[in-house]
Amino acid sequence: MEDAEFVEKLKNYPEILQKFKELLVTIERRDFESVDSIEEALIPDVRGLGKMLLSSWASEEEEVLRNQTRQNSQKQHSKKNSIGTQHLET
């Protein structure tokens, strides 16, 4: 995937885009005393990003399943074309 395509897709997920921006701000800070201190700063953000990604995926998956269920339900309950059994005249 090209960078431009990645950015365009990311625009569909504003919360995730914002989290990436926050990560970049943290990474670009130069006031960390050690690797351990930047690690401590990044871990909560990375965990938050992971939760956000899983939540986004689950929401989309739920919507897909809901639509599939709705379509299957409509197929099973479609109206019959028959007008019924005609009575024979005696």
Segments forming the whole domain that contains residue 13: 3-70
Token reading at 6: 């990645």
Give the containing element (helix H, strand E) for 39. helix 35-76
Q: Read off the amino acid at residue 19.
A: K
- Whether 80 maps to a domain, the answer reads no
Number of domains making up the chain: 1
40, 45, 50, 56: CA torsion to nearest 10: 170
pTM over 0.85: no
Q: What is the pLDDT of residues 26-83, one digit of tens each?
A: 888 878 888 898 888 889 989 989 999 999 899 989 988 988 888 877 766 555 666 6
- Whether 26 maps to a domain, the answer reads yes
CB atoms closer than 10 angstroms to residue 19: 19
- Whether 37 maps to a domain, the answer reads yes
* pLDDT recorded at residue 80: 60
- Whether 89 maps to a domain, the answer reads no
